[in-house]
Amino acid sequence: MKAVQVRIISVLNACRNHGLTRMAPTTSTSILVGPPRFKPHSPPPPPPPPQSQVPFLPRPFFTPSPYGNYCLDLFIHVVPEEDSGTLASHERLNQMLHLAWFKNPLTTVKLICNLLDRRGYGGKDDRDSFYKAAFWLHRHHPKTLACNVASIASSFGSFDDLTEILYRLLHGQDVRRRNQYESIDGFRVRRKGSNSKVLSCRRLTPREVRVMKALERSKLQEEKARAVRRDKAMAMANTAIERYQNDPDYRFLHDRISDVFAECFKSDIQNLNKEKDANYDRDQDCLELSLAADYCPKIGSSMDCATLLCESIAKKVFPRELYPEYQGIEEAHYAYRVRDRLRKEVLVPLRKALDVADYHAGANKWGYNPDFKREPCAIKKYLEDVKAGGESKIRVDALFPHEIMRYANHPDVGESAEIQWKAMVEDMRMNKGMNVLNKCIAVCDVSPAMTGRPRDVSTALTLMMSELSEEPWKGKVITFSESPQLISIQGGDLKSNREFLRNMGWGYHTTFSKVFDLILEAAVNEKLKPEHMVKKVFVLTSCSFLERGFDDNSCWESEYEAVRSKFKKEGYGDVVPQLVFWNLNLEDLYKEVRSEGECQKQEGISMLSFVNDNLIKSLLENDGNIGLEHVMEAVISGQGYQSLVVVD
């Protein structure tokens, strides 16, 4: 029998089927009782009446922002490091969050999620800083955090980030570090010199006696460890029960997270049951499942005991009012039965469908194929439509320059890419005016370090600037090498221009003073007026800013002063091109963003260390004027960030 094809869907897609994303905040009246093996010393207190007052938010001390934007300060200074995981201390992070929130609450929420983001371009993947920021957000704006949990799990992290938030709220922000220290302290270390005594005792004691004593000692240690674990789990469960009953903000967050799991389970089980239908076509249909079953805490595990999340989820998947067999039974018995039912009827079958441990020959041992196929490339599909329909199918803003460049040499859609490129350049000339990048030139790095997306972006922007520029800069490019050259691009179409750029000379670094000398020499030879001088020089490379040594302000200032003197001597006054050093290597984004921020204060140079579609769009719309604020907006403008909201 053919294996069932499985396709993983996002949390928002699974929840949207059941209306979670549109659900209004509600006040829960349910109670938690904990696992049946735990008997609390006293019954939990009844839930307090709802509290509507907003927690007091002290107005922070407004120190001047070094970049003129408190959100930009948060974006620049909270940067992951290899050693510590975060540059800012807890207190400093809280202060920056306060200031950023007063500047722009929605942008602050986006920047908090950017700390966790490990999927898109520009995500920091700094989980420790995210949990600290989420702790701050829960303390001061609890409804905003609770109403964004589905988006957080769907677009930036995963389900386990939601359970981790609950765990740290209940047991402290440093609970992981404390657990680690407790484990280290728990190891027994044998004192030096004790081996000889042990060996002498073994010679006098028969082996059978030694074995029996060892078994008894092991049994006592196991019982003691079991009792310690039970007491610890009971204490954590009691903490979760009391916090849930006495803290409305925590209860609301707990309910929203359990809602996300419950709605995903309802959607997954509904889709799983369709597979058993006689009309299900295994060749055409695809089983759509979320990863909720993989990340849900195992029932009875330490995470389940610490948060009691499985009990809340089970009660929402199997509510009393929809199942007559649960009517009239006490709460503890109801919780026990639905927890067991959740395991048997939901978690076990879903985990079988998602199991990849024994995956081989197109299916796992349960008959499912979780190695789902990807959706067809939208860019290639569009170019195929252009090839079939001709120019009538062209939308000039459908693709970005680097997306077109990627398919310039494609055997099937290369001609369509050529048509799309010409239409895009012509549209920029006619509809957006001749002032779009008409006084820019690129220093193009085509060294072996430039591969994949950075190489496509570098060659595409270089060619686009050369075609949009005025004479004598039209069709020109400067090579990235120790002895740069100003050369003309030789090629009659997109494909040949692409090959020419990729095969021109290159080096491992370039000399900026020589780049300015080439520009000045060409301007003098052509007798250009100052208003026709190049405005911006884009250095498109994967080299690090720090490799150029410009983290020292005096280094660039002395070099720039020498360049300005040469331009002034030739009659151009202060008309000196602005240098834009654009590092296209995404791995260096947050390693050097602080240095990038410092360099923005230096005259004559701007530094960027990020590239995505939105930043390229800003480049085209602002005539090449891009800075750190454009980078920040580009980073937090992805589709996932659009679903974030501010509630309180």
Specify the pLDDT at position 254.
Answer: 95
From 401, 433, 465, the end of a domain falls on 433
Ranges of the chain whose pLDDT falls below 70: 1-3, 16-29, 36-66, 80-89, 120-121, 179-204, 277-285, 356-376, 390-392, 431-436, 545-554, 586-601, 610, 623-624
| Sign of CA pseudo-dihedral 514, 463, 614, 153 | negative
Quick one: 501 and 595 in the same domain?
yes
Specify the pLDDT at position 618.
Answer: 77
Relative orientation angle of helices 90-103 and 105-116, to the nearest 10 degrees: 140
Specify the pLDDT at position 601.
Answer: 59
Specify the pLDDT at position 571.
Answer: 87
Find all residues with CB under 8 Å of 273, minimum gap 6, and list them: none
Quick one: 556 and 438 in the same domain?
yes
Specify the pLDDT at position 195.
Answer: 54
SS3 helix, strand, coil % of the chain, rounded to 5? 55, 5, 40
What number of CA atoms fall less than 13 Å from residue 150's CA on the CB side?
27
Cβ neighbours of 39 (radius 10 Å): 10
Query: Looking at the domain assignment, is residue 48 inside a domain?
Result: no
Q: How far is residue 485's CA from residue 482's CA, in Å, rounded to a whole number?
A: 10
Q: How far is residue 165's CA from residue 257's CA, in Å, rounded to a whole number?
A: 10
Cα-Cα end-to-end distance for the chain: 54
Query: Looking at the domain assignment, is residue 499 inside a domain?
Result: yes
From 433, 466, 501, the end of a domain falls on 433
Quick one: 588 and 476 in the same domain?
yes
Specify the pLDDT at position 181.
Answer: 58
Quick one: 455 and 529 in the same domain?
yes
How many domains does the chain contain in total? 2
Cβ neighbours of 100 (radius 10 Å): 25
DSSP collapsed to 3 states, 483-524: CCCEEECCCCCHHHHHHHHHHCCECCCCCHHHHHHHHHHHHH
Query: Looking at the domain assignment, is residue 357 inside a domain?
Result: no
Per-residue pLDDT of 249-296, as tens digits, reads 999 999 999 999 999 999 999 888 887 765 666 555 678 888 899 999
Cα 298 vs. chain centroid, distance in angstroms? 26
From 433, 465, 496, the end of a domain falls on 433
Specify the pLDDT at position 342.
Answer: 94
Q: Supply the range of the domain harboring residue 407.
A: 384-433
Residue 8's DSSP bridge partners are: 289
Which CATH number is 518's domain given? Answer: 3.40.50
- Please name the amino acid found at residue 106: L
Q: How far is residue 258's CA from residue 163's CA, in Å, rounded to a whole number?
A: 9
Specify the pLDDT at position 226.
Answer: 80
Pairing of strands 476-479, 486-488: antiparallel
Quick one: 400 and 482 in the same domain?
no
Quick one: 391 and 458 in the same domain?
no
Quick one: 476 and 427 in the same domain?
no
Cis peptide before 472 (omega within 30 of 0): yes
Q: How far is residue 489's CA from residue 522's CA, in Å, rounded to a whole number?
A: 16
Per-residue pLDDT of 108-144, as tens digits, reads 999 999 999 877 667 888 888 899 999 999 999 999 9
Query: Looking at the domain assignment, is residue 548 inside a domain?
Result: yes
Cβ neighbours of 448 (radius 10 Å): 8
What number of CA atoms fall less than 13 Å from residue 240's CA on the CB side?
30
Q: What is the pTM of this model?
A: 0.79
